[in-house]
Amino acid sequence: MSIRLWLLSGFTRLVIKRWLAKVVEVTDLREAFERHAKRVHIAPPFAACRNGFLGGIPVKWVSCGRPTSDNILFYVHGGGFVVGSPDTHRHMVAYLCRSLGIEAVMPRYRLAPEHPFPAGFEDVVASYRALITSGRDPSRIILGGDSAGGGLVLSLLAYISKHNLPRPKGCFALSPAVDFTRSGESMVENAASEAVLVAARFEEMSKMYLAGQDPKQPFASPLFADFPNCPPVLFHVADHEILRDDALAMQCHLLDQGADVLVRSWPNGFHVWHMMLGYIPEARQALDDIAAFIKQLP
C-alpha cells in the first residue's frame, strides 16, 4: 500500500464519505461530481474527445494518439445510476486507449430518478446496437464499466446473450453493482471500512433507480440473468468495499455457466480507485492490469 493511497483513503473516508452521507439533492451531487472531475481528473497527453450520437443516444468518442488497432472499447460510466457522465470518466478511458492503441465510445445514458429503470439500460443497448450496425465488428468490441456502469455493461452482456447477438471480444467490470436485493454480506460487513460509498444510502439509490420495480429483474440485477456464450470477463474489486460480494457472487454465477472469469482483488483499494489516476500508483497499476487482460484476449 503506497503512502499516497493511505493518505487519500483517509481523506476520502473523513471528508468525501461524510459529505455523501449528508447531501440531499441529486442536483447538488451531480454538480459536485462534475466539478470534481474537471478540477482533479487529468487526461493523459494527446487525449482527444468528440461528441456524437449512436442510435439517437449522445455518446463521447475518446482516443489518445492515433489508434493502431481495430479493437474498440464500449465503456459505461458509473455514478450510482444517478450521477456521472462520460466527462467524469474520460481520463481513465483515455489512458486505456493510449495503452491499447484503440478508440473508445461512452454512452451518455439517462439517469435516475428522472429516468428510472429501464431508461438507462435501454440507452446502453440502443447505442451498442447502433455501434454494430455502423459496421463495427462485434468480435473486436471490448465491454467495460465501473460501479453502476459495471452493472449496466453486464446487463448489456446478458441482453446480447438472450438475443443471440454476436459475442464481443471480452468484458471488464470494476466494482460492479449487480444485485439490487443486497444479498451480499459485504454490504453490512464493510459498511464501516468502505472509504467512499455509504451503505445506509444504497436502499435510497435503489428506490430512485427501480421506482418500485422488481429488484430481481435480470436486466436490472444481472446476477439473476443468463449468460450463454459469455466472453472472458475480468472483475476488479477492493477487499473492504460494500460491493465486494457483488463481484464475487457474479464471478460464481458466470463460472457456473461455463464462462472464463478472473477476479483481481486489491486489499487496500477503495471503490473504483482507478479514478485517481495520476495521484496513486495503484490506479495506474490497475488500469495496466486491464490493458494486459485485453491484450491477451483471442
Q: Would you call 185 a catalytic residue per the annotation?
A: no
Nearest Cα to Cα of residue 89 among 246, 276, 249, 238: 276
Catalytic residue (one of 9, 99, 147, 186): 147
Separation of first and last alpha carbons in the chain: 33
The Cα-based distances of 234 to 108, 163, 230 in angstroms read: 23, 23, 12
pLDDT score of 159: 98
Range of the domain at 198: 3-295
pLDDT score of 1: 86
Written as nine digits, the cell of 95 is 489512458
Distance separating alpha carbons of residues 228 and 23, to the nearest angstrom? 41
Cβ-contact 58, 93 below 8 angstroms: no
Q: Would you call 25 a catalytic residue per the annotation?
A: no
pLDDT at 283 over 90: yes
Local confidence band at 290 (pLDDT 50, 70, 90 cut-offs)? very high
pLDDT score of 36: 92
Give the pTM. 0.97
pLDDT at 254 over 90: yes
What are the tens digits of pLDDT across the range 147-159?
999 999 999 999 9
The Cα-based distances of 13 to 30, 162, 191, 277 in angstroms read: 19, 40, 11, 18
Local confidence band at 174 (pLDDT 50, 70, 90 cut-offs)? very high
Number of domains within the chain: 1
CATH code at position 10: 3.40.50.1820
Catalytic residue (one of 103, 241, 274, 282): 241
pLDDT at 122 over 90: yes
Q: What's the length of the chain? A: 298
Catalytic residue (one of 89, 91, 271, 274): 271
Distance separating alpha carbons of residues 156 and 151, to the nearest angstrom? 9
Q: Would you call 114 a catalytic residue per the annotation?
A: no
